[in-house]
Every structure is written in C-alpha cells, then in structure tokens.
Amino acid sequence: MSIQSLYHSQIKNSSSLIQQFPMNSLQLNPTPLTARIPLISSYFQNKNRGGGTIRCAAATAKARTYNITLLPGDGIGPEVVSVAKDVLDAAGSLNGITFNFEEMPVGGNALDLTGVPLPDETLSNAKKSDAVLLGAIGGYKWDNNEKHLKPETGLLQLRAGLGVFANLRPATVFPQLVDSSTLKKDVAEGVDLMVVRELTGGIYFGKPRGFDQDENGDEIGFNTEVYAGYEIDRIAHVAFETARKRRGKLCSVDKANVLEASMLWRKRVTKIASDYPDVELSHMYVDNAAMQLIRDPKQFDTIVTNNIFGDILSDEASMITGSIGMLPSASLGELGPGLFEPIHGSAPDIAGQDKANPLATVLSAAMLLRYGLGEEDAAKMIENAVLETLNKGFRTGDIFSSGMKLVGCEEMGEQVLRSIDSQKPAAVAR
C-alpha cells in the first residue's frame, strides 16, 4: 500500500515506512538559482495592481502541467494549504497551467502514520516534483518526543534533503495593513525588506551536538555553530544577487564580535562583495539588528544572515507587516525543486477553528509560481487577488482593525478566488 493511501485512510504505524536519510537528489529543476532570484519589491511595483489589464499566458503559450507535492502538515497547515491549492488551481487554469497535486505526510501526522517525521516516500516524492508547498508542522502532542521523533526534525530533514540552502523571506507592509502593524504608522509604512536566511547549515545542523554530563556530573546540552566557507559564499552570492535586483543595499547580520563562525562569515561576505561593486554592503551585529528592525525598519533593503539569526529576525520582521500570517517564503537550492512555505508555525492555539490567516501560504504559492516554475503571470494574478481582497476590507482576526470585515480562513480563501476570477480576461470569460 502506498504512503498516500495510508495517509488518506489514516492507518497508523506502518512498519514498511522506515526512514532512510539522506537520499540522492534528483535535481529536476534545471534553472540555475541566480536566475531565479526574486524581485520581491514587485509587490509595490506591480502596475497591474487594482485591476489593470492582465496578460493571459493561456492565450499565447502552450498548456503546461506541473507536479506539485503538497505537505499540509499539522495544526493550521491543512487549513491554509487547502486554500492555497484552490488558489493555485484557479490562477493556473486562467494561465494554461494544470497541476497534478500529490499530498504527502510530514511532521506530526507522519509520525502518527509511519513512526517517523519524514517518511522516505514523502522525500522522494518531493524530490521528483516540480515544486513543494508546505503548510506547517508541530504541535503540543509531539513536543516531548525525543529529538529524532519531533515534527521539527522532519522539516529540517526535508530542507536538507532538498538542498534548499537559500531561504527568502520578504517582509512587505501592504498599504492596506499599515494599521495592523503594532508599530507606529510612520515607522511601518513603506517597509519592504528581504531576509535571506541560510537554511541548511549553522547551529541547526552543526556537530558535535547532544546531551552529556560535565565534570561535576551535572547534565549539559550542547550545539555547535559551524559554517564552512563554501556555505557562506553561496548564500552570500544569493544575497548580493537579490540586493542587486532590489534597491542595491545588503546588510550582513552576524555576531562577529564574539563568535568564530560569525568572524568567518564576515570575512567571506566582505570578500565576495568585490564581485558586486553595485551593491552597498554593511555589517551589523545581530543584537543591534533586532533593535534597528523596530527602531527604523525602512533602513533595510536586503538582510543576509545565518540560520538561527534568520529564523528569529524574520519572525520579528513579520510583526512590522501586521502579522506572521502574512509572510511567505521560498527556499531554493542550486538545482531541484524549491520548497515554499509560510514562515509561521502550526498555530495549535487556533487550529481547527477556521481562524488562520491563509494569505502567507497563498503568497507562498505565488512565490512557487514565480521562482519555482517561472510562471510570472499566474504569480502576479495571485498577488493582485490578495491585494484586491485586502482592498475590499476582508480581514482574518490577526490583521483585523475596526471598520474591516472579519472573516475566517475559508471565507478569506473564497474572496481571493473571487478576485482571481474577476481578473479573467474577456477572451477567457466568454
């Protein structure tokens, strides 16, 4: 029986699904990473926003079919992925694109089903697909599991298995949501920054790690922050390319006053800067960066940083935009499918209550189209639909402000679909 039928029939504890990790990458996406670097400030530069003429690829290009691995995960993951899947289908059908979706388990639901957080079949299916869309993993039920049996371990194995070392997390304050930010309007307004987070190295993966005892017999837990030069170089190139396509400013965030791994980080990033004379490079310690993000976030264009600092700073940046429920992400490797996911978690406190904001996942689907598949028209269509939905005043609880219309996850999804439908060119509508 395949893992999918197991997944769908919710049969638990199949003994045939023992994880073997890592596996060889099939590397199916032949487009080099630097050619897929985003122009995320397009959220603001998009001239089609607000109902201009949308070019319909379906009218001009051949029909395309893509295989997408869907990993809904746990908590609110299935709720937000279900919305994003419908949105992909709708935008796809108006642009000559057909999707074959394959839904696979990961995280806590995979643990319940198979005993491991990333089953072999899930990873191999993801590697063979054209792109992967993930909801979120984790939850109270598995919080006390041993490390190798935590949902979070499955997510890290997935990122490592796909080799997606470059995690792009745009934080853009939509004009419609300025009042949802917890910062003062004049601080939040116009913020448009990109965190380029190194995703497959650093303290998350460094060895040695583990638990032991010290010389006094007290227990210790330890991790290692380690970066090889090549890991810094490749993320630095992605960051410089990203900055070059944005406003030409790159801030490298580290802790080079204390940590050797950060000293090497700063040295390698500084060296690579000579390849990008058009990009203005600055360096900042992470403690200062955390403070500056709140004091004056508009000073930042592109930020490049390590795995753990990027995790923390991107969550912090999300609140400038109004809610963590708004921030999408794209994780890309040199080759092979990209992984697209909202930056938020499984939000167990609101799971199953139709309260989740699906827009971070919907915007991740737009990133999937643009950077994973090169389908710019369909990506724009989704982004336009999100903006139009916000323009109409629809808000989930996390971004609600007075005078707006409070809706749940499903209704928000339906409104986005309606806005996509309204972009149907006359030729298609007939």
Ligand X SMILES: NC(=O)c1ccc[n+]([C@@H]2O[C@H](COP(=O)([O-])OP(=O)(O)OC[C@H]3O[C@@H](n4cnc5c(N)ncnc54)[C@H](O)[C@@H]3O)[C@@H](O)[C@H]2O)c1
Binding site for ligand X (CB under 6 A): 76, 136-139, 152, 155, 324-325, 341, 344-350, 356-357, 360, 398
Query: Residue 254 binds which entry of ligand IPM, ligand X, none, with Cβ cut-offs from 5 to 8 Å by kind?
Result: none
Three-state SS annotation for 4-21 = HHHHHHCCCCCCCCCCCC
Contact in structure between 208 and 222 (CB atoms under 8 Å): yes
Q: Looking at beta carbons only, is 225 or 377 nearer to ligand IPM?
A: 225
Among this protein's residues, is 315 annotated catalytic? yes
Q: What are the CB-based long-range contacts (under 8 Å, 24+) for 311-314?
A: 311/197, 313/195, 313/253, 313/286, 313/289, 314/169, 314/171, 314/195, 314/197, 314/343
> Least Å distance between CB 200 and ligand IPM?
10
The one catalytic residue among 74, 254, 311, 377:
311
Query: Residue 311 binds which entry of ligand X, ligand IPM, none, with Cβ cut-offs from 5 to 8 Å by kind?
Result: ligand IPM
Among this protein's residues, is 311 annotated catalytic? yes
Q: Looking at beta carbons only, is 19 or 396 nearer to ligand X?
A: 396
Query: Residue 162 binds which entry of ligand X, ligand IPM, none, with Cβ cut-offs from 5 to 8 Å by kind?
Result: none
Q: Looking at beta carbons only, is 196 or 264 nearer to ligand X?
A: 196
Among this protein's residues, is 227 annotated catalytic? no
Q: Is 348 helix (H, G, I), strand (E, B) or coil?
A: coil
Contact in structure between 131 and 337 (CB atoms under 8 Å): yes
The one catalytic residue among 143, 287, 296, 421:
287
The one catalytic residue among 204, 227, 276, 371:
204
Q: Looking at beta carbons only, is 71 or 381 nearer to ligand IPM?
A: 71
Q: Looking at beta carbons only, is 152 or 225 nearer to ligand X?
A: 152
- Give, to the nearest 10 degrees, the angle between helix 229-245 and helix 260-272: 50
> Least Å distance between CB 316 and ligand X?
13
**Cα(156)–Cα(149) distance, integer angstroms:** 12
List the one residue out of 59, 60, 80, 88 whose CA is nearest residue 381: 88
Q: Is 408 helix (H, G, I), strand (E, B) or coil?
A: coil
Residue nearest to ligand IPM (CB): 152
Among this protein's residues, is 287 annotated catalytic? yes
Query: Residue 336 binds which entry of ligand IPM, ligand X, none, with Cβ cut-offs from 5 to 8 Å by kind?
Result: none
Query: Residue 317 binds which entry of ligand IPM, ligand X, none, with Cβ cut-offs from 5 to 8 Å by kind?
Result: none
- Give, to the nearest 10 degrees, the angle between helix 286-295 and helix 307-320: 10
Q: Is 357 helix (H, G, I), strand (E, B) or coil?
A: coil
**Cα(101)–Cα(94) distance, integer angstroms:** 17
Query: Residue 191 binds which entry of ligand X, ligand IPM, none, with Cβ cut-offs from 5 to 8 Å by kind?
Result: none
Q: Looking at beta carbons only, is 297 or 322 nearer to ligand X?
A: 322
Please give the residue ranges that form the binding site for ligand IPM (CB under 6 A).
138, 152, 155-156, 311, 343
DSSP string computed for 358-407:
-HHHHHHHHHIIIIIT--HHHHHHHHHHHHHHHHTTEE-GGG--TTSEE-
Query: Residue 269 binds which entry of ligand IPM, ligand X, none, with Cβ cut-offs from 5 to 8 Å by kind?
Result: none
Among this protein's residues, is 86 annotated catalytic? no
**Cα(86)–Cα(104) distance, integer angstroms:** 17
* Backbone torsion region of residue 313, taken as left when φ is above 0, otherwise alpha when ψ lies between -120 and 50, otherwise beta: alpha
The one catalytic residue among 179, 315, 354, 424:
315
The one catalytic residue among 85, 150, 255, 355:
255
List the one residue out of 214, 289, 292 whose CA is nearest residue 252: 289
Q: Looking at beta carbons only, is 124 or 346 nearer to ligand X?
A: 346
For β-strands 249-254 and 131-136, DSSP reports them as unpaired
> Least Å distance between CB 346 and ligand IPM?
9
Which residues are tagged catalytic? 204, 255, 287, 311, 315
